[in-house]
Chain A
């Protein structure tokens, strides 16, 4: 069985500060890992994903995440927060070797203050 834990349901940063959103996963098989962003009353937009290969993946809007197998983590970072980054962020996992259902974490609401 797979699961995702996002540490911190709310994260608040100042504009220009580092953004760090934490995600740990549990999977008995090699995982595919994803970060999605959701704005109010909208669907989800993919920020980035890890399937195979390079463990540091870069996504849209300046976000990146690093797959660390030894720590079972896939934390999302951005060097400098922008006001427009305020949203809900979801980490998700599925099994590798073919697409399967996504299991989502509880989500982290990011607030960005001027």
Chain B
């Protein structure tokens, strides 16, 4: 199947700094990617839909100014957590669509200290 690579897998940052997470489709082009957030022992919450060449579509309650999404090419979407705070600590997962199937990245464990 198709491969989605997410980087980094783990990151620790200081409160107030920004962190960028990359999501790449390695062997297919993805005009649409999705970013999810997963709290401990909880399900995946869709944060936003990333559209190549246009603005991302954010779900209700997600701060677009805090979670900046850029989908500059057909194989790369980035999520930047700006001015991170401890409550932003979470597991972030991206997915990309190939045909009728979603492929997921390995996830990024963000810890803000």
Among B42, B43, B93, B107, residue most surrounded by chain A Cβ atoms (within 10 Å): B43
Inter-subunit contact B105/A99 (CB<8 Å) = no
Question: In the assembled complex, how far is the CB of residue B55 from the closest CB belonging to chain A, in whole angstroms?
Answer: 16
Inter-subunit contact A43/B49 (CB<8 Å) = no
Number of A residues, CB within 8 Å of B: 21
- Give A105 to B45 CA distance when docked, in angstroms: 10
**Interface presence of A35 (CB below 8 A):** no
**Interface presence of A102 (CB below 8 A):** yes
For residue B42, which residues in chain A have a CB less than 8 angstroms away from its CB?
Answer: 106-107
For residue A70, which residues in chain B have a CB less than 8 angstroms away from its CB?
Answer: none
- Give A3 to B41 CA distance when docked, in angstroms: 19
Inter-subunit contact B34/A43 (CB<8 Å) = no
**Interface presence of B104 (CB below 8 A):** yes
Q: How large is the interface on B (under 10, 10 to 19, 20 to 34, 35 or more residues)?
A: 20 to 34
**Interface presence of B97 (CB below 8 A):** yes
For residue B41, which residues in chain A have a CB less than 8 angstroms away from its CB?
Answer: 109
- Give A21 to B39 CA distance when docked, in angstroms: 22
Inter-subunit contact A99/B107 (CB<8 Å) = no
In the complex with contacts A99-B32, A99-B97, A102-B34, A42-B107 CB distance below 8 A: yes
Inter-subunit contact A107/B43 (CB<8 Å) = yes
For residue A36, which residues in chain B have a CB less than 8 angstroms away from its CB?
Answer: 104
Within 67-106 of B, Cβ neighbours of A (below 8 Å) are at: 91, 93, 95, 97, 99-106
**Interface presence of A32 (CB below 8 A):** yes
Within 34-82 of B, Cβ neighbours of A (below 8 Å) are at: 34, 41-44, 46, 49
- Contact partner of B105 (CB less than 8 A), chosen from A43, A104, A109, is A43
Within 83-108 of A, Cβ neighbours of B (below 8 Å) are at: 90, 99, 101-107
Which residue of chain B is the closest to A96 with respect to CB atoms?
B100
- Interface digits, B1-40 against A, CB 8 Å rule (1 contact, 0 not)? 1001010000000000000000000000000101000000
Name B residues whose Cβ lies closer than 8 Å to a Cβ of A: 1, 4, 6, 32, 34, 41-44, 46, 49, 91, 93, 95, 97, 99-107, 109
